[in-house]
Amino acid sequence: MNNFIKKIILFGSVLGLLGHNNNSFAQNDVATDILGLAAVAAAESFFGYTILYTVENYLVKEDALVSAKYPYAQQWYQALAAQYPDAQLLDKRFLQEMYVVPAKLIQWCSTLNAIYFPQKSLKEIDRIYKKFLDGDSLLDDEKLLLAREEFILLHEAGHIQYKHIPSRITRALVTQILVGCSVTILAKKYDWDLQFYQKVGISNFIGSWLLLYFSRADEVQADDFACERIGIDQLNGGISFFEDEEIDPLINIESKTVTPFVPTNSKIGSCIQWLLYKKEAYDLGKLQDIKKSPIRRWIHDFMRGLTHPAPSSRANKLRGWIERKKGQEKATAVEQVAAIA
């Protein structure tokens, strides 16, 4: 939090000097507008960070810990902490609930220093890892599920290691100030109606798109953090996550067909069924056409998940990591044979 405050003070000082030393700004009241924007942005960012810091460090209930309800899932987490020491998992809290957020709404996510997993995943991890500790053989699907959750865990740990939450708050602050200042200066210089641009939210619009870019870059960086550390099995687990129909509805769309209705003797019912069938067939055909076109597929994926890269592109990137690791394993094996010879 100290670094965050230092950045706010730094930007505030720079803008203060700018307004103090530039007489042309002072004459047009631009300096006042800029300092006002900076003060509001800094206050909003600091307030948001303070709430998050307080909730995470002082308002975590004991039953929010994964260990309170899923002891074997916690053991799985601790085993991975020993396997990946540079991820520093033991320094992070493994939680199943977030303050004032219903547990059923929690998905995989991370905050300043805590990793959250959904109840459905924790139940499966708890069951499968207990089975593993009891010495029972795991099914292929169970191994794949643990591998998938391992990839997700390292991905979320990457967000924390790279301090993405503080970075996003800082970026939001800087972006809001810079975009707001730019619009203000241009409005003063070219005699635009500044109140009009403020009402339509042009600064927020531009700033939001810039922040979307940064958010997507953070996801790529967190993926790379995980991929650098995990093995081929876990990479395949990550691919299975991105190629799940809940994450990517188009993954198997080409094999889908419209399910016929149950026959009925009602003419009205038959007409309604026919209309619904035609509508579903049209929607299905549209989605199938989207998948065939790389450009339309990219637009579809982008609009469906603005803050994250397309699942299909992330899955393909993981395949690239698999090929890279296979090459590394092959090169290592050759070196070992050469050393023995």
Instruction: Please tell me the distance from the alpha carbon of residue 41 to that of residue 180, in angstroms, as a whole number.
Output: 10
One digit per residue, the tens of pLDDT, for the chain of length 341 reads 455 545 544 544 444 444 444 444 433 454 555 556 566 666 666 777 788 888 888 888 888 999 999 999 999 999 999 999 999 999 999 999 887 788 888 999 999 999 999 999 999 999 999 999 999 999 999 999 999 999 999 999 999 999 998 888 777 777 777 777 776 666 666 666 555 555 445 556 666 667 788 889 999 999 999 999 999 999 999 999 999 998 999 999 999 999 888 888 898 989 999 999 999 999 999 999 999 999 999 888 888 888 889 999 999 999 999 999 999 989 888 888 888 76
Question: Tokens 């190629």 appear where?
Answer: 243
DSSP string covering 265-294, please? S-HHHHHHHHHHHHHHHHHHHHHHHHHH-H
What sign does the CA torsion over 317, 79, 164, 302 have?
Answer: positive
SS3 (DSSP) at 115: strand
Instruction: Please tell me the distance from the alpha carbon of residue 314 to that of residue 127, in angstroms, as a whole number.
Output: 29
Beta bridge partners of 115: 94, 110
Between the two ends of the chain, the Cα-to-Cα distance in Å is 56
DSSP string covering 30-95, please? HHHHHHHHHHHHHHHHHHHHHHHHHHHHH---GGGBHHHH-HHHHHHHHHHHHH-GGG-GGGSEEE
**Contact of 109 with 102, CB cutoff 8 Å:** no
